[in-house]
Amino acid sequence: MSHATAAVTTAFIQHVVLPHYVTEEQQCQTQIQPLGNGHINGTWRVITPQITFVLQRINTTVFPQPWALINNAVVIAKHLSMAKTAYPLAVTQPLATLSGDFAIDLGAQGFWRAMSYIANSCSVEQLSSVQQATQLAQAFGQFVAALADLNPDSLQEVIPAFRSLPARLHTLQQVAETDRLQRLDGCRQWYDFAFSQQALLTELAEIEPLLPRRICHNDTKINNLLFAQTQPCPIAVVDLDTCMPGPLMYDFGDMVRSCCAAVAEDATELQRVRMMPDYFAALVAGWQQALGTTMTSLERQSLWLGTRVVTLMLAVRFLTDYLDGDRYFRITHPQHNLERAANQLTLYQQLLAQQSVLKDVLDK
């Protein structure tokens, strides 16, 4: 976002959105700062003399039914706050407007919601030790474990077929057939590679229907876990927008693809894209500690499948968005989505190349 746009947005928030949350007197003493690095929603920290909170503009292209997401957040926060076995992490609480609603729909001016800010927290883009990897897997695992006794049907499906690789491939094929921006020729090798993984689809079709449906986070990447500012320990799982029922294997896999890669998900030096087995082992240990007694043996066996599928699926989503004119993921430069797709497809290839080492860790 340019400085000019940021200034307009801040002024807009100040004069149009904040009056729904704070009194007129508090408004003039309020600071508004951009927060986080998410690819989808706009996020700000709002600091008033009385309270600091998080304000978000929900991307309604990605979430066409934003009230489903809001209702889910309320159900989850309530469940975690009253969890039977104490949930050890902080919970972000949805905040109501002055008139008592958990969101405000301003039509063309956006769909806005607020939630509590977790003090003294920070997010990281890369882990700095294997101990931190274990902590991260424990935290995401504790989140899923705490939701294990919540009926999956109490949450609404916010994005249909969000975790369906066949549906994602189908959309990619449709977008490529139109090729509105004539970008396909420039990425044909990646496109063809994505469609060459038939054996994975067969394996998925055999196993996925047998897996239990449970409430999953569905976006377990590094920067969706807040750490304490003063010491490297997790304090809260955030970004619950895609919490939905589904198979557990994708939460494990998404953690692996985002934490065990040697470089960031949009790094362009593809020769440096590879998996770090020691981080992988640390994640497996943390996941096992948090979910060992909750996971069924089939869920345990499916973790390697979930890792490969979720990595390929994200690559397919980035490639689709590139061909479709970058309408879904926020980009900072024209080839950004193609670079992300190439990176994630390379990571997927690396998963296959490093399979025997990684699977040994899982099977131990």
Residues forming the site for ligand GN1 (CB under 6 A): 38-40, 62, 219, 221, 224, 239, 241-242, 265, 314
Token code pair at residue 261: 């890669």
Residue 303 interacts, among ligand GN1, Mg ion, none and using kind-specific CB cut-offs from 5 to 8 Å, with none
Residue 336 interacts, among Mg ion, ligand GN1, none and using kind-specific CB cut-offs from 5 to 8 Å, with none
Q: Rounded to the nearest whole angstrom, what is the least distance from the CB of residue 224 to Mg ion in the complex?
A: 5
Q: Kindly state the helix (H) or strand (E) to which residue 317 belongs, with its residue range.
A: helix 303-323
Residue 62 vs 155, nearer CB to ligand GN1: 62
- Find the binding residues for Mg ion in span 20-39 (CB under 5 A): 38
For the chain, give the number of residues.
Answer: 364
Q: Rounded to the nearest whole angstrom, what is the least distance from the CB of residue 241 to ligand GN1 in the complex?
A: 6
Residue 222 · residue 136 · CB < 8 Å: yes
* Beta-bridge partners for 115: 54, 94
Main-chain phi, psi angles of 34, to 5 degrees: -60, 145
Segment interacting with Mg ion (CB under 5 A) among 105-113, 136-144, 217-225, 343-351: 217-225
Residue 59 vs 311, nearer CB to Mg ion: 59
Residue 242 interacts, among Mg ion, ligand GN1, none and using kind-specific CB cut-offs from 5 to 8 Å, with ligand GN1
Residue 184 · residue 176 · CB < 8 Å: yes
Residue 92 vs 93, nearer CB to Mg ion: 92
Q: Rounded to the nearest whole angstrom, what is the least distance from the CB of residue 246 to ligand GN1 in the complex?
A: 13
CA distance 350 to 354: 6
224 binds Mg ion (CB under 5 A): yes
Residue 62 interacts, among ligand GN1, Mg ion, none and using kind-specific CB cut-offs from 5 to 8 Å, with ligand GN1
CA distance 108 to 39: 20
Cα distances (Å, whole numbers) of residue 296 to 10, 221, 248, 290: 48, 23, 10, 13
Residue 163 interacts, among ligand GN1, Mg ion, none and using kind-specific CB cut-offs from 5 to 8 Å, with none
CA distance 69 to 135: 27
Q: Rounded to the nearest whole angstrom, what is the least distance from the CB of residue 216 to ligand GN1 in the complex?
A: 12
Angle between helices 66-81 and 130-146 (to 10 degrees): 100
CA distance 294 to 344: 30
Tell me if residue 161 falls in helix, strand or coil.
coil
CA distance 157 to 245: 8
Q: Rounded to the nearest whole angstrom, what is the least distance from the CB of residue 66 to Mg ion in the complex?
A: 16
138 binds Mg ion (CB under 5 A): no
286 binds Mg ion (CB under 5 A): no
Residue 208 vs 219, nearer CB to ligand GN1: 219
Judging by beta carbons within 10 Å of its beta carbon (0-12, 13-18, 19+), is residue 361 exposed, middle or buried? middle
Token code pair at residue 299: 């869920």
Q: Rounded to the nearest whole angstrom, what is the least distance from the CB of residue 314 to ligand GN1 in the complex?
A: 5
Residue 226 vs 316, nearer CB to Mg ion: 226
Which parts of this chain interact with Mg ion (CB under 5 A)?
38, 224, 239
